Structure 1
Amino acid sequence: MRILLIIFFGGGFGSLGRFLANRWVTSVVTSVFPYGTFLVNITGCFLIGFLVFFTERMGPNSLNWRLFLVTGFCGGYTTFSSFSFENIQLMSNQQVFTMILYTIGSIVLGFLATYMGILLARNI
């Protein structure tokens, strides 16, 4: 139960961070390009890369911090960071075909699933 609460609170802070960052960017920049989401995705990728390795050095509490910051905060902030980090891991393990399949599959099937969800909602 403790682990679930650690992730829960980290995710809440991450979601709040995503909302505030997106809101700030859209108040400063008016454009058709989704700069808010773009900023969140890129900063989330930086954060997950930094935090995965930073939390490994935190000693006995490293698992709790990793769950709070990486799984919780980064997961609430943006799942794109997890997607990016997993692709880096696949490349590091010389699993290039799997990485390409995962990337293309995620993008294509993600777009299709979103579109199908919209079509379903329109027809209800």
Structure 2
Amino acid sequence: MINPPRRHVICVVAAGGALGAGARYGVVTAWPDVWATVAVNIAGCLLIGVILGWLSRRPDAHPLLRPFLATGVCGGFTTFSTFAVQTLELGGVAALAYVAATVTGALGAVWLGLIIGQRS
């Protein structure tokens, strides 16, 4: 299965997204704080890096694995919309710290995840 039908890709992204969003809901319910969003986004970026790094070394991996895990699960787990709303709600210096922590943490996590994934 080189190029799976589009409907299969849509289905696995939706299923993965439901799992990721459910996991995020669990985290922010257990830890109802704006910094939970930072933690979720950084953890999701780390996982995306690991997955993409790992898959880059496995050309024989099932073609639906990447859209399910990276786009679906990790995309559903991370949240730009909540990040944007919380940035506006914080305002001022707190918003700047929040944005800096999220952006630098997320980029660093993806980079680290890629290294980890490529070595596994």
Range into which the TM-score falls when normalised by the shorter chain: 0.5 to 0.7
- The C-alpha deviation readout for 1:74-103, integer Å capped at 9, x for no partner, is 1111145xx856xx79xxxxxxxxxxxxxx
Quote the residue 1:67 is aligned against. 67
Q: Percent identity?
A: 32
Q: Cα offset for 1:34?
A: 1.0
What are the ranges of 5 or more consecutive residues in structure 1 without an aligned counterpart?
27-32, 90-124
The TM-score with structure 2 as length reference comes to: 0.56
Q: Cα offset for 1:37?
A: 0.9
Q: Could you say what the CA RMSD is over the residues aligned between the two structures, in angstroms? A: 2.4
The TM-score with structure 1 as length reference comes to: 0.54
Query: Rg bigger for which structure?
Result: 1
What are the ranges of 5 or more consecutive residues in structure 2 without an aligned counterpart?
1-6, 81-102, 112-120
Q: Do the aligned partners of residues 5 and 42 (structure 1) sit closer, same or farther apart at CA in structure 2, a change above 3 Å counting?
A: same
Equivalent in 21, 25, 28 of residue 27 of structure 2: 21
**SS of alignment partner, residue 61 of structure 1:** coil
Q: Which has the higher contact order (CA 8 A, sep 6+)?
A: 2
